[in-house]
Chain A
Amino acid sequence: MSGQRVLVSGMGSELGSLVAVKLEAEPWVGSLVGIDSDPPRRRLRKAEFHLLAPAQRERIVEVVTAFNPHVLINISVWEPDARAGLRDARTFTADAAMAIFGAAAECPALESVVVRSGIEVYGRGRGTPTRPDETAPLHPTSEFGKMLAGVEHQSAVLAGRAGLALGTLRLAPVLGKHVPSPLGRLLRQPVVPYSALADSPFAVVQDGDAANAFVTAAARRLNEPLNVVAPGAITTLQAALRGRRVPLPLFGPGWGLAGRLSNLFGAPIPDHVIEVMHRGRLADGARAVDVLGCAPANSTPQVIDHLYAWESIVRIGSIDQAVA
């Protein structure tokens, strides 16, 4: 299987560039091309990168069809209030999915598609399972969940028409020291609001573990949806206490005010994060461990600890000597 051509859509994101770095080290990857509207956040040695906005559909189609990949990894998903506001996130995600999947349908060599989704697609309506597995019905109850369900639908249509293997990775909220995440940003504020009446548990996944799942799914030609979730769970109050933040208990009307204040301080709270705090967000990740053969290395409490182990000042003492 050596010499495979792999296309990564969304290579500029933290997760996408991490996936690219890991793919460069894979012996089965012959050539690697990436597309994103932001440049990669890591140094890539083999990958060829194209800086393209999601709206540049014709140019994206040119790049993708000229490369004619064997494997497509789509990470072009904009979480609301992570890198863009809700309206832009919705537009960028829809445009990117249309351009990438449309172009992929024109590639005769394409064999496998791996898509980034999230456990937000299960929704948190009343009476829904506490830890849905991959067989649970999709009833997204947040804007982000609906966006992800839309991406899943488009990829399923593509895979069905072209007879491709389709692996869908439904990630728990991805956190990492440098991952732009509204949940991570909120938890790192000096004062962390939490639901006084519910304080429901949620699970997350480390960016490195999520990247490993993408690489393994691509290598194994995954052909089913999988939940990628770190073991264990934590509540917002517990996370704030672990990070030595000041927890702020809130009741119904207090959330509106807290949301506006948090937005002013640079940490907007989108509806899917509010849903996490009120209703929790867990999922059963056992199937992913069985199929991919690798469990997330970090538990949810460990991911939260890493999130807080973030130095505000990074001292690089050797720069002057190196320049000199």
Chain B
Amino acid sequence: MAVYAVDDYGRDPHLVAALSPLARLRWNVSVTGAGNIPGTAALLVCNSRRFSLGAVYAALALSDTTGRTVRFVGRPDTAPLGPLMRRVGALLAHPADVLSALRDGDLVMVSAAGTAHARQAGAVPHELVGQAVIAQVPVLPVTTINSRFGRAAHVVVGPVVTARRKRSGPLAHVELAERVQHQLQRMLDNDGAVDVDVEGDVEDDLAVEDDV
């Protein structure tokens, strides 16, 4: 009887389990850096090439790897696509939805703005990243690289990114979003690696820390 139910946000874990083999037929995803994900709630920010569905396969792969629910942001609010995406864990790109999921202890994946090139990080939506500041949860960059027509895909989770300065107002949200975009670009420039110091100042400049 317990089969017929969804979670608090409408995600159907049984449908997700049924769709995972189909997703694996389309993408052969390798995941690196999953150990960076904390045991608590966290906001994951991934780069996005237009029409690549990077957030979808990254969320499914990280969900498989960590055994936790990973929700991704960006479902439409119209039927039938919206309700279908909700069943596999999608949220509206609404700050209240992101904040609510983070407060419930979930992992939430947010996409940067879509770009034409796979190795270019688009603008990170500060109004969504700001919810991590409000909920006091860490923000981690996630790079997604895949072949447009092939199956190979690579997901890399970077370490926690923090703002350079402590701010009490909305600047905290904007500056954190900019630093996440900066970190994403660096990871993409280095094939997703986070331990390669291209300009010699990664540790110093990115202020990679273990907490918010």
- A residues sitting closer than 8 Å to B (CB atoms) are 126-133, 136, 195, 197-201, 203, 231-235, 238-239, 241-242, 278, 280, 282, 284, 286, 300-301, 305
A130:B94 contact, CB within 8 angstroms = yes
| B77: chain A residues within 8 A (beta carbon) | 126-127
Partner of A233, one of B6, B78, B82, B96: B6
- B residues sitting closer than 8 Å to A (CB atoms) are 1-2, 4-10, 77-80, 82-83, 86, 91-92, 94, 96-97, 100, 103-104
Dominant secondary structure of chain B at its interface with chain A: loop
| A126: chain B residues within 8 A (beta carbon) | 77-78
A133:B96 contact, CB within 8 angstroms = yes
- In the bound assembly, the distance between CA atoms of A112 and B197 in angstroms comes to 63
| A284: chain B residues within 8 A (beta carbon) | 100
B83:A199 contact, CB within 8 angstroms = yes
Partner of B7, one of A133, A232, A278: A232
A133:B1 contact, CB within 8 angstroms = no
| B5: chain A residues within 8 A (beta carbon) | 232-234, 238, 300-301
| B104: chain A residues within 8 A (beta carbon) | 286
- In the bound assembly, the distance between CA atoms of A278 and B78 in angstroms comes to 10
Number of A-B contacts (CB under 8 A): 82
**Closest Cβ–Cβ distance, residue B12 to chain A (whole Å):** 9
Partner of A301, one of B2, B79, B103: B2
B94:A127 contact, CB within 8 angstroms = yes
| B91: chain A residues within 8 A (beta carbon) | 130
- In the bound assembly, the distance between CA atoms of A238 and B10 in angstroms comes to 12
B7:A198 contact, CB within 8 angstroms = no
Known: A129-B92, A133-B100. A232 touches B4 (CB 8 A): no
- In the bound assembly, the distance between CA atoms of A126 and B92 in angstroms comes to 10
B6:A197 contact, CB within 8 angstroms = no
Partner of B100, one of A128, A131, A234, A280: A131
Partner of A198, one of B2, B83, B96, B100: B83
- In the bound assembly, the distance between CA atoms of A201 and B84 in angstroms comes to 11
Closest B residue to A136 using CB positions: B96
Known: A129-B96, A130-B91, A199-B83. A238 touches B6 (CB 8 A): yes
| A231: chain B residues within 8 A (beta carbon) | 8
Closest A residue to B82 using CB positions: A198
- In the bound assembly, the distance between CA atoms of A58 and B103 in angstroms comes to 48
A234:B6 contact, CB within 8 angstroms = yes
B4:A201 contact, CB within 8 angstroms = no
**Closest Cβ–Cβ distance, residue A171 to chain B (whole Å):** 17
| A232: chain B residues within 8 A (beta carbon) | 5-8
**Closest Cβ–Cβ distance, residue A202 to chain B (whole Å):** 9
| B78: chain A residues within 8 A (beta carbon) | 126
| A234: chain B residues within 8 A (beta carbon) | 4-6
| B2: chain A residues within 8 A (beta carbon) | 301
A233:B83 contact, CB within 8 angstroms = no
